[in-house]
Chain A
Amino acid sequence: MRPVYLHGSAVSTTWRDASRSLTDLIFECVRTALGTAGISAADVGATVLAAHDLVDGRGLTSMVTAPAAATYLKDETRLGDDGALAFVLGDARVRSGSVDTCLVAAWGRASEGPIDEIAHALFDPFTARPLALTEIAVSGMRAARCLGDFPGYGRWRGAAAARRGVRPADPSRVPATAWPLRAGELPVWADVVAAVVLGSQPGPVRVGGVGMSTEPYELGDRDLTGLTALRTASAQALTDAGVDAASIDVLELDGLTLFDEALAAEAVGAAARGDGMSLLANSPRVNAGGGSAAGYCAPAMGLVRVARAAERLRNATTSQVGLATGASVVAAQVQAAVVLEGA
C-alpha cells in the first residue's frame, strides 16, 4: 500500500444564497479545492461523493449533482452517508494504487428542505416515529444522561457554549430544541459544501490512519453516551497511524450538538469520562472554529471536520497531528475517524 496525502481542501458555508443553485455551490467549492491542490479537473482520477436524496430534495441526487463535482466521463461513486466515510473510501482508492488522485466532496443545503421533518423520517415507522423522535431529541436524551451522571457537564456547558461564537438571529436556522438543550448548544443549519483532494504524491498533509465502526439501529441497544462506534473507530485510526490519543494537537469532532461534541471528545480519548464538556470549554485544540454552531447540514459534516483539521495543520507553525471524526445519521450510528499528520 502506498501513502496518501491531502493536497487541497475547501469548505463553503452559506445560507439561502438565491444567486446560486445547489450545483453552483458544489461547482464553486470543488473548483476552489482543486485550486488549492494546484490541479485541474482533468487531473482527477476518481471522485467519491457523499450526498443525500432527501436532504437535496432530488430523488436520485447524484444524477443531477455529480457533474458539478468534476465527474464528467470519470470514475465516480456516491455514498448516501457521512462525508468522512466517503473520505475513507477515497483514501482507499489512492492507497491501493487504483488512482493517483481522488476528489472527495460532500454537501447538504439545509435552506432548501425541511430538515427537522427529514430527521423525523429517519426513525422506525412502527416504534419511534409515532413518538416524535428526531435526532435533536436523541441528543437531548444524551444531554440529560450527561447532566445526571457527570457534574462537569453542568459546570462547563455555559463556558463551552460561549466559545461557539455569535449565533445568527434568524430562527429558521436553529432546530426546535429538546430539553435540556439550550439554544446556544444547538447546531446552526447552513448550506454546506466540503471538498478534499487526495493524492499519492507527497503533499502538505499525510493521511496517517483511518477507522470506522457501526452501532445497532435501535437506540435502546446502544450506549448512548459511550459512543461505542466512535471509540472503536478512533482507536483503529490511532493504531493505524501509530500514534496515541495524547499526542493529538488538533481535534475536529463531528457532533450535532455541543453535548454530542463533548461525548465525542471522551470517546476519542481526548478527555476522561465525564470531562468532555470541560475540555470543550477550556481547550483550544477542539473544534476551534465553533463546531456545529459554525454551520451544519448532514451528510457533509464529517468531511467538513477533515477539511478543517487539514487547514489547521497547514496553518500550524510546527509539525502537528490531527484527528477528525464524522458521524452518520440516526444519531451517529456509524462513525469514522481520520488521523492527519502535518508536514
Chain B
Amino acid sequence: MGESAAGKVPPLTIDGHWAFDYTYYAGDAASRFFAELANRRIMGTRCPQCLRVLVPARGFCDACFVETTDWVQVSPHGTLETFTILTTSFPGLPEPPLVVGYVMLAGASSAVLNFVDGIDLTDPDAAGTAMLGRPPVTARFKDVCEGRITDFVFTLDEPA
C-alpha cells in the first residue's frame, strides 16, 4: 500500500547564485564613438538614405537597413527633451537622487541619454516641474575620459 499523496511537508527552498561574466564587443562604430569622447567630440553617423544623423553613432540605420557612411561631429549644446529623477539606489551607480534624460544635440537627428548634473534636488517635484520646458543644456566632459558613455554629463545652461 502506498502512502497518501496529501501528506504536507514544509516547502523546500535552496539558495542560488546567478552571475555570468560577459565581454561585449562594441564594434567599430561604438569604438570610434567612445574614442572620440577622449577628444571631447560627440560623434554621430549619417544614414545615406534617410539622411538622419544618429547619435550615439551606429554602424547601420535600422529604419532604412543600410550601413551608415559619414561621421559627423555634433554640437555639445542641445535641448533636454525628456528626463526623470531617479530616487532609488542602484548597484554600481552613483547615489540617488540623479537626473537622467534624453538630449537632442544641435546637428543630431536622434537624442542621446545621459545624466544631468548640478540640479538642486532637495524638492524633486519642484526641480522636475521647473525642467519641463525643454531647457537648453550643454555636454561637459570629465577630466579623465575612460571610453564610457559617462565620460560626459549634461548641465543646464541656466539654473532651473
- Chain A contacts to B: CB under 8 angstroms: 16-24, 27, 31, 40-42, 54, 57, 67-68, 70-73, 111-114, 117-118, 121, 125-126
- Chain B contacts to A: CB under 8 angstroms: 12, 14, 16, 18, 20-31, 59-60, 62-65
Query: In whole angstroms, how far apart are the Cα atoms of A17 and B12 in the complex?
Result: 45
B34 to chain A, nearest CB (A): 12
Nearest CB in chain B to that of A41: its residue: B65
B23 to chain A, nearest CB (A): 6
A–B Cβ pairs within 8 angstroms, 24 of them: A18-B25, A18-B31, A19-B28, A21-B27, A21-B59, A22-B24, A23-B27, A23-B59, A24-B27, A24-B59, A27-B60, A27-B65, A31-B65, A40-B65, A41-B64, A41-B65, A68-B60, A68-B62, A70-B65, A111-B23, A111-B25, A112-B22, A121-B20, A125-B14
> Could you tell me the dominant secondary structure of chain A's interface residues?
loop
A-side contacts of B60, CB under 8 Å: 23-24, 27, 68
B-side contacts of A67, CB under 8 Å: 62
Closest 5 CB pairs of A and B: A21-B27, A41-B65, A57-B22, A67-B62, A24-B27
Query: In whole angstroms, how far apart are the Cα atoms of A189 and B29 in the complex?
Result: 25
Query: In whole angstroms, how far apart are the Cα atoms of A73 and B28 in the complex?
Result: 26
> Could you tell me the dominant secondary structure of chain B's interface residues?
loop
B-side contacts of A23, CB under 8 Å: 27, 59-60
Contacting residue for B24 out of A19, A70, A73, A112, CB 8 A: A112
The answer to whether B30 and A113 have CB atoms under 8 Å apart is no
Other than A21-B25, A57-B22, give 10 A-B pairs with Cβ distance below 8 A.
A18-B31, A19-B31, A21-B27, A57-B20, A70-B65, A111-B25, A112-B25, A114-B22, A118-B20, A126-B12
The answer to whether A22 and B65 have CB atoms under 8 Å apart is no
Given known pairs A72-B62, A125-B14, the reply for A113 and B25 (CB within 8 Å) is: no
Contacting residue for B16 out of A16, A111, A117, A125, CB 8 A: A125
Nearest CB in chain B to that of A118: its residue: B20
B-side contacts of A114, CB under 8 Å: 20-22
The answer to whether A54 and B27 have CB atoms under 8 Å apart is no
Query: In whole angstroms, how far apart are the Cα atoms of A20 and B31 in the complex?
Result: 10
Query: In whole angstroms, how far apart are the Cα atoms of A307 and B111 in the complex?
Result: 39
The answer to whether A126 and B25 have CB atoms under 8 Å apart is no
A-side contacts of B12, CB under 8 Å: 126
Query: In whole angstroms, how far apart are the Cα atoms of A17 and B23 in the complex?
Result: 12
A-side contacts of B64, CB under 8 Å: 41
The answer to whether A117 and B65 have CB atoms under 8 Å apart is no
A66 to chain B, nearest CB (A): 9
Q: Which one of B31, B59, B63, B65 has the greatest number of beta carbons of chain A within 10 Å?
A: B65
Query: In whole angstroms, how far apart are the Cα atoms of A27 and B16 in the complex?
Result: 36
B98 to chain A, nearest CB (A): 21
Nearest CB in chain B to that of A113: its residue: B22
B-side contacts of A27, CB under 8 Å: 59-60, 65
Contacting residue for A117 out of B14, B20, B25, B30, CB 8 A: B20
Query: In whole angstroms, how far apart are the Cα atoms of A114 and B22 in the complex?
Result: 7
